[in-house]
Structure 1
C-alpha cells in the first residue's frame, strides 16, 4: 500500500515535468499541436460556463464562484495561446530561409518557450477539476428545467421617454421655474428616492426644444458618488467649453478656486442664459461648495437656472431661496395604470395578484416598468410564481432576470452579460459611441461569430437585443436612423456597476481593493488620483486612464495580461516604453489630446493588436514596424488643426505618413487618415487592402486620380471615403466607382464623370468643400434617394438656388457654409423631410429660403455669423418672422458661440 502511494507521488511529480518537456519540444519545432489541444479544452470550458446562464440557482454562491473561476481560467488560457503564437514562429512561407528563421527565432526564445510549456501543463491540469466543480454545484436544487416557462423572454423596460404617469404636477412646476422669472440665478432642487424618476423627469424637460431654445448655454453633469468639488467643477467647465467649441486642454492643472473662477467668468458674460443640471448630488455641503465657488449669485443679471436632483432632502437647505420639487411615490391607481401600459395583460388580473404587484412596485416608476416588462411575455396565470421569487429580493433583481433572458436567447452569445457589464467601466452618464463599444467588445473576446455573421454584425445584434429590452438606451442617432452612441439609465448603471464589482469585473482608481490580483478591469476616467506606487494587477485585462498620474509606467509594467489599454487626455506625454511588452494587447487608444508625437519601432511586437487609435495625437509618421501588425483592423490617426486655420476656413486635417509595407495589413477595415504628400507610391499599395470599409487620404495631387481609382476599384466593402487635395487642386476621379458608398467627404475641386453622382444610390452623407459644383451636378444630387445629410462649404458659386420639385426627398440636414455669391434660395416643393437647416457665413444671402414655411418637418434653424440686416428680418413684427414661426428651435451664433437675440421686438419666450 505504501509502495503504491509512493509510486503515485513520484508519478505526480514526474508526469508534469515530462509533459512540459514534450510541449517545449513541439514549440521549439514550431508546431502548435499542443495549443490546438488546449483550444479544444477551452471550448469545453466555455460551454460549461454557458450552461450556468440557464441555471435556476445561478445566484447560489457556489455556482457563482465556480463560474467566476472558470471565466478567469478561460482568460488565462487565451493569454497563454497569445504567448505561444508570439514566441513559437512557424510561418515564414514567403522567405526561402524560412527553416533557419524559424529555428533561429525559437531557439533564441527557448527559455520563454519552456515557461510557456510549463504554464500550459498547469492550466490543462486545472480544467477538469473546475469542470467537475461546476457540475457538482449545478446539481443543487434541481436543474435548468425548474425555471422553464416561468422567467423566459423577460423584458426590462427603462423609464425614459416614457408615459409620465403621476408626473403632471412636477413637470408643470419644473417648466415654470425654468422658463419664467427674473434675470438672475435661481436653483431648482428635485428630490425623490432612488427609482422615483427624478433624472427622467429632468432629462425630459432639459431636452425639450422650448428649453433648448430659451437658453444659449447648457450643461448636464452626472455626479458620481466618489466626486469631490474639483471633479464636479471640472465636469461643469468641460461641458460648457465643449458646447462653445473652446479648448478643454490643461483643465487638469487648475485647482478648485481657479476652476470656480473660470466657470463664473464664463457664465457672467453678456447675454449669457444658462441652464446647468447637477444630477444626483448627495450632500448639502457638496452643493453649497459648487454654488459658492462657481455659479454667479442672485446679483448677476444673467438669466441662469441650476437644476439639482438628489435623494437627500437636506440638499435643499444648501440654498436659501431654492425652489423645491418633490417627486413622490405613485399612488396605487397610478402604479396599476403604468404597469398595464408596460405589461399589457391579456386577461383580467385577480385582485390578490394586483395587490401583490402594487406592493412589490412600492410606488416607484422604475420598479413598475421593470416589473411590467418582466411579466409582459409570461402567461398571466404564472405571474404569482414570478412575484414570489422577486419579493425576496426587491426590484433590483428584475434587471438581472432580463439580462439572463437576453443571454439565454439562441442567437445571443453567453458573453452578453460581460458586454453589458462593460458599461460599468465608463462613468455614469457617459455616452459611448457604437464603433468604440463594438471594437472594445471584440478586443476583449466577447464576440463569437455565428451563422456566417461578421463580428461587427454579431455585436450589433447584442446591442439590438439590449435596446429592445430597454436595458441599454440609444443616446444619439445618426440622421439615417442608425444608433450613434449609447448610455444607461442612472439606477441601471448603479446596478450594473454593483454586479461588475461583485465579480471583480471592474474597479476604479478610487475603489482599488486590497485584493488587486483579482481585478480584471480598472478605470480612472474622471478624476485624478494617485495609484499606489507598487500596485500589481497580474490579471488586469482592461485599463482606462484619462488623468495624469505619476505611476502609469509602473502600473503597465506590472499588468502584463492587458488586452485593452486606453490612455487619453492628459494621462501621458510620451509613448510609454512599457507598452511594447504588453504582447496580449488587442486595443490601444492613445488619442484624444495626449501629447504623444512618435511611435517606437517596438510597436511591431504587438502582433495581436486589432485597433490602434491615435486620433488627436501629434503623431505625423508611422514606423515601418506597423506592417508587422498583421491582425490590425482599425488604424485611426488624424487630428484637426483648429487654432491655425485661416479665418472662416474649414478645419485643417492632418493625417499620418505611412511607409512601404502598409499593403501587408490585409485585415484592415479602417485606415484614416494617411498623408501621401511625400510618398505617392502609397496610393498604389492601397489596392492590396481589399477589406477596407473606411478610408481617408489627404494631400492628393491631381495626377494621383488614376492610381486612386485603380486602388479603390477592388474595395467592394468600402462604405466611407474621405479625400482631400493639396492646395484645392482638382483630382481626376473620372473612373471612380463606389456603388456601396454611404459616406463621402471631398475637399478640393471636382473632376468627376457625368454618371458619378447618379451612381451613388446608397449615399447617406455628403460633405463637399471647395468643390466648384456645377448646376448639372447639383441637380443630380437632389435626386439621390437615400441622402440624409448634405454639407456644402464654399462648394457653390451661383447667386441663386432653385431646388427641383421633390428634390432631396429624404434629406434631414442641410448645411450651407460660405456660399459667398448666394443671394436667394427657393425651396418650394422640395426638402419635404428636412429637420435641420444650418446657414453659416453667407453674407450676401438676403433672406431665409423662400418657401421655408412649407417645410413642416423643419424643427431647427441655426444661423452662424449672419449679417445683422439678415437677422433683423426675422424679428417679431418684421417681414420674415411669420415664415419661421413653425420652427421649434431657432439659434444664433457669433464666432461659433450661441447668442440670444435681446432686441425689443424679440419674443423672449422663443429666443
Structure 2
C-alpha cells in the first residue's frame, strides 16, 4: 500500500537524517527537500486509491511509483545513518578518528548518498507532475483517525458471540462425542464456508465435558493440499510429553504413525480434523500404519467439511450433522449483539429505527454467521441511520461467497486509517488456519513501521488497540485472552477473509503468498506488473527461494533445506519449521534488519558480527537449534533492541549503550548458572518483561532503585533465594514461578511491592503447607490474586 509505505518512510526520516549532524552535513538539506516532496505526494494518495479500486491501471502504477521511490529514499538515507551509528561504537584509536573526522571512505559514501537522493527527488517530481494528467485530487486527503474505545476492548469480540444460535447443535454433538457406542466413530459437521463449522468445533474441543471425558485431545487443520508427514508430526507433538521436537522432525511417516498408535492405544482420545476437502484424507493419515487405533474405549473423530461426500466417506460408524443456516430470529440475535452491543445501546438515539433497518440487513445475510458478524461489526462503528440505509440500498445481488466478499471489502475500506489496513493485510501472510500469537504479530507490525506514534500510548499499546478493532469487527477471531491483563493473546483469521486479503494485497503489490501445496502463487494476479516488497513462502521444497532483490520482508513456513538469496534491504526475517542453509552469510549483510524471528529451525548459525545490525529491534529464536554454543555478546551493542529471546547468550558487561530493551527472555549460559544477573539487568530503564530460565543461585538480589518499569517477572526451572530492598520493582504487576524450587520461604519483601496484583506459583519439591505461609496470606489480604500448585 503506497499510503502506508510513504507514512512509514516519513516517520523513519523524521528519526534519521533530517536532524542536523556534522556527519550528514552534506546531505541534510537534500533530505529535508525529499521529505517535503513525499509529504506533498502523500496528499494525493487517498483519491488515487479510490481510483485504483475502480480499475484505473494508470493510477495503480502511479501509486506504486510513489511507493518505490519512498523505499529507495529510505534505503539510501538509512545506509548513511548506519555509518554514523557504526562510528559511535568503534573502540580505540580508529574509533576516535572516525568520530571526529571524515575518513575518505565515509566521504565517498556521503557523496553517493547525495547523488542518490537527488535522483530520487527528480523521480518524485516527475511522479508529481503525472498526478495532474491523471486528474488526481490533492484536496481529498483526510487525516487518519485514532481509535478511542480501547477500554471496551473485550466486550464485543469473543467467539461466544458468534456461537449465538448454535446451542442446540452444540448439545447434540456433545452427546454424540461422550456417549453412544464404545467403538471408534466419527462425527462430521458439514456446512458451507462462513457457516460456523470451525467455531462450533473449537467450542466443543475446549468444553469442560469434552476435556473431562477424553484423555488426549488433538486438533489439526487440513488445508486443501496437505502433506501427510507434516500432519502426523503435528499430532505427535501434541500428544507427546516433554520437548521432543528435534527427534520428531527426523521421523518418517511410518515411524510417526506407529508412535501415534502406541500413545493413543493407552488413552481415550478425540482427534479433530478441521476443514477437510478430500474424501481420502482419513485413509492417507493411516496409509502406512493404522495411526488411530480402535481400543473400544469410546474414542472419537470430529470432522468438519464443506463437502457432503467427504462427511459420508469415512469407513467407520459416522454421525453426519448438517449445520443449518441461522433462522430469522437467531440471525437477528447474532447481528444485534455485534451491531448494537449492550454497552452502546444506552447512548443510541432512534434505537427503534436502527432495529428496523438492522432486521432487514440481518435477513439479507441468509443466515450465515460470518456475514452477520462482519457486517454487524462494521455497522457498530457507523451508528447513523443514513449509513445503515446506504448499506441496505446498495446490497449486492449475489449470494453466499460473493456476498461475503462484498461485506469484507466494505468493512476493510471502513477501517479508520491506512496503518490498520496494512496491519489487516499483513495477517494473510500466515498459513491458512494458523493460530497467530498477538505478541509476535505486534513485533512484526512495529518492525514494518505500521504502528504510528500516538499521544500517550506506546507502540505496543497502539498495536493492541488495532488487534481489538479488528476483533470487534469480526475480521479476526479471538482464540485466547489473558487472564491477567484481559487483552487478546491469540487470534486466527477465517479462510474466506484471508483469501480476500491475499487478493487485495497481491493486486496492490503489498504482499505475495507462495504455497507449494496450492501449486504456486495464492491470490488474483494484478492487471499490471508491480514489485512486491513482502513475500510469504509456505510448504516449499525449493532449494533457493525466488524473491525480488528489493524485498523488505520475508516470511517462510515449513521450508525444507533452503538457501536465501542475497537480500540487502530486508527489514523482516520471520521463519518457522524450516531447515536453513548458509544463513549466517546472508544475515550478516542485512544492515537494515529490524526483526529476526526463527522458530523450530535447524542448521542456524548466528554470526559473530550480529552486533553490526544496528537497526535490529527483535531477535527471537524459540525452539531453534543453534550450531554454536553461545551467541556473541556484541548483540548488546545494538541500542535499538526492544525484544530479546534467545537460548544461549552471556549477560551484557554493562548497560551504558542498551537503553531501549523492553522485553528480555534468557536462559542461563553454561558459565553463568551461579551468577546473579540482577545487578546488571535491574539497571535497564525501559525493561517491562523479564523471563529467566535455569538460574541456580544462592542469592538473587533486588536493590531499592532496580527495575523502574518492570511489570512482569517470570522464572522457569530456577532454584533461588531472594534478597529484596524496599523500593525495588515499583511497577511489578505479575510474578510467576514455573517448575521452580525455593529453599527459603516466599520472600516477605513481596508485601512491599505496591503494584503487585497476580502471582502464579507452580513449585517443585515443596509441600502444600509451605505454600500457605504468612507472606502469601498477607498478599491475598492486600488484594493480590495468588494461584498455587505443586509438582
TM-score (norm 2): 0.80
In structure 2, do the counterparts of structure 1 residues 262 and 749 end up closer, same or farther at CA, with 3 Å as the change threshold?
closer
Q: For 1:246-293, what per-residue CA distance to the aligned partner results, in whole angstroms no more than 9, with x for missing partners?
A: 41225444444443333333322x2x1211111111121234322555
Question: Could you tell me whether the CA contact under 8 Å between 1:545 and 1:571 is conserved in 2?
Answer: no
Q: Distance in 2 between matches of 1:93 and 1:603?
A: 14
Larger CA deviation: 73-82 vs 177-186: 73-82
Question: Could you tell me whether the CA contact under 8 Å between 1:720 and 1:744 is conserved in 2?
Answer: yes
Q: Distance in 2 between matches of 1:133 and 1:498?
A: 27
Question: Could you tell me whether the CA contact under 8 Å between 1:281 and 1:310 is conserved in 2?
Answer: yes
Question: Could you tell me whether the CA contact under 8 Å between 2:334 and 2:372 is conserved in 1?
Answer: yes
Question: Could you tell me whether the CA contact under 8 Å between 1:562 and 1:585 is conserved in 2?
Answer: yes
Match of 2:373 in 1: 369
Q: For 1:503-558, what per-residue CA distance to the aligned partner results, in whole angstroms no more than 9, with x for missing partners?
A: 34131242645999733322335x34225x58342232221234443442xx332x
Q: Distance in 1 between matches of 2:81 and 2:708?
A: 39
Match of 2:225 in 1: 226
Match of 1:20 in 2: none
Q: 2:514 aligns with which of 478, 498, 508?
A: 508
Match of 1:406 in 2: 415
CA drift at 1:666: 3.0
Q: 2:244 aligns with which of 229, 244, 247?
A: 247
In structure 2, do the counterparts of structure 1 residues 676 and 812 end up closer, same or farther at CA, with 3 Å as the change threshold?
same
Matched, 1:545 2:562: no
Question: Could you tell me whether the CA contact under 8 Å between 1:561 and 1:584 is conserved in 2?
Answer: yes
Q: For 1:585-606, what per-residue CA distance to the aligned partner results, in whole angstroms no more than 9, with x for missing partners?
A: 111124545343x533333432
Q: For 1:223-261, what per-residue CA distance to the aligned partner results, in whole angstroms no more than 9, with x for missing partners?
A: 2233243343333333333xx334122544444444333
Matched, 1:613 2:626: no
What secondary structure is seen at the aligned counterpart in 2 of 1:362? coil
1:100-111 superposed matches below 5 A: 101=98, 107-108=104-105
Matched, 1:128 2:137: no
Q: Distance in 2 between matches of 1:128 and 1:350?
A: 49
Q: Distance in 2 between matches of 1:246 and 1:99?
A: 49
Q: Distance in 1 between matches of 2:386 and 2:33?
A: 49
Match of 1:719 in 2: 688
Match of 1:699 in 2: 673
Question: Could you tell me whether the CA contact under 8 Å between 1:699 and 1:724 is conserved in 2?
Answer: no
Match of 2:323 in 1: 327
- Answer with 1 or 2: which has the greater Rg: 1
1:370-409 superposed matches below 5 A: 370-376=374-380, 377-391=382-396, 394-408=403-417
Question: Could you tell me whether the CA contact under 8 Å between 1:586 and 1:611 is conserved in 2?
Answer: yes
Match of 1:878 in 2: none
Q: Distance in 1 between matches of 2:62 and 2:508?
A: 11
CA drift at 1:132: 5.0
Q: 1:631 aligns with which of 627, 640, 657?
A: 640
Matched, 1:729 2:698: yes
What secondary structure is seen at the aligned counterpart in 1 of 2:491? strand
Question: Could you tell me whether the CA contact under 8 Å between 1:444 and 1:563 is conserved in 2?
Answer: yes
Question: Could you tell me whether the CA contact under 8 Å between 2:184 and 2:299 is conserved in 1?
Answer: yes
CA drift at 1:199: 1.1
Question: Could you tell me whether the CA contact under 8 Å between 2:662 and 2:688 is conserved in 1?
Answer: no
Match of 2:3 in 1: none
Match of 1:787 in 2: 758
Q: For 1:179-237, what per-residue CA distance to the aligned partner results, in whole angstroms no more than 9, with x for missing partners?
A: 11233321111111111111111111111111112112112222223324334333333
Question: Could you tell me whether the CA contact under 8 Å between 2:278 and 2:310 is conserved in 1?
Answer: yes
Match of 1:22 in 2: none
Q: Distance in 1 between matches of 2:200 and 2:224?
A: 21
In structure 2, do the counterparts of structure 1 residues 407 and 294 end up closer, same or farther at CA, with 3 Å as the change threshold?
farther
Question: Could you tell me whether the CA contact under 8 Å between 1:572 and 1:594 is conserved in 2?
Answer: yes
In structure 2, do the counterparts of structure 1 residues 144 and 335 end up closer, same or farther at CA, with 3 Å as the change threshold?
farther
In structure 2, do the counterparts of structure 1 residues 387 and 485 end up closer, same or farther at CA, with 3 Å as the change threshold?
same
Matched, 1:657 2:657: no
What secondary structure is seen at the aligned counterpart in 2 of 1:225? coil
Match of 2:736 in 1: 766
1:339-350 superposed matches below 5 A: 339-344=335-340, 346-348=350-352
Question: Could you tell me whether the CA contact under 8 Å between 1:218 and 1:276 is conserved in 2?
Answer: yes
Match of 1:485 in 2: 490
In structure 2, do the counterparts of structure 1 residues 235 and 497 end up closer, same or farther at CA, with 3 Å as the change threshold?
farther
In structure 2, do the counterparts of structure 1 residues 398 and 468 end up closer, same or farther at CA, with 3 Å as the change threshold?
same
Gaps of 5+ in 2: 1-21, 341-347
Q: Distance in 2 between matches of 1:213 and 1:334?
A: 30
Match of 1:473 in 2: 477
Matched, 1:86 2:82: yes
Q: Distance in 2 between matches of 1:517 and 1:58?
A: 15
Q: 1:535 aligns with which of 541, 546, 556?
A: 546
Q: Distance in 1 between matches of 2:100 and 2:724?
A: 55
Q: 1:461 aligns with which of 454, 462, 465?
A: 465
* C-alpha RMSD over aligned residues: 4.3
Matched, 1:523 2:536: yes
CA drift at 1:311: 1.0
Match of 1:808 in 2: 780
CA drift at 1:144: 8.4
What secondary structure is seen at the aligned counterpart in 1 of 2:367? coil
Q: 1:587 aligns with which of 572, 592, 595?
A: 595
Question: Could you tell me whether the CA contact under 8 Å between 2:85 and 2:614 is conserved in 1?
Answer: no
In structure 2, do the counterparts of structure 1 residues 471 and 812 end up closer, same or farther at CA, with 3 Å as the change threshold?
farther
Q: Distance in 2 between matches of 1:286 and 1:138?
A: 55
TM-score (norm 1): 0.70
Q: 2:260 aligns with which of 244, 251, 263?
A: 263
Q: Distance in 1 between matches of 2:156 and 2:287?
A: 39
In structure 2, do the counterparts of structure 1 residues 68 and 257 end up closer, same or farther at CA, with 3 Å as the change threshold?
farther
What secondary structure is seen at the aligned counterpart in 1 of 2:490? strand
Q: Distance in 2 between matches of 1:324 and 1:671?
A: 49
Q: Distance in 2 between matches of 1:637 and 1:75?
A: 31
Q: Distance in 1 between matches of 2:287 and 2:274?
A: 18
Question: Could you tell me whether the CA contact under 8 Å between 2:274 and 2:303 is conserved in 1?
Answer: yes
Question: Could you tell me whether the CA contact under 8 Å between 2:44 and 2:140 is conserved in 1?
Answer: no
Q: Distance in 1 between matches of 2:120 and 2:287?
A: 58
Question: Could you tell me whether the CA contact under 8 Å between 1:734 and 1:751 is conserved in 2?
Answer: no
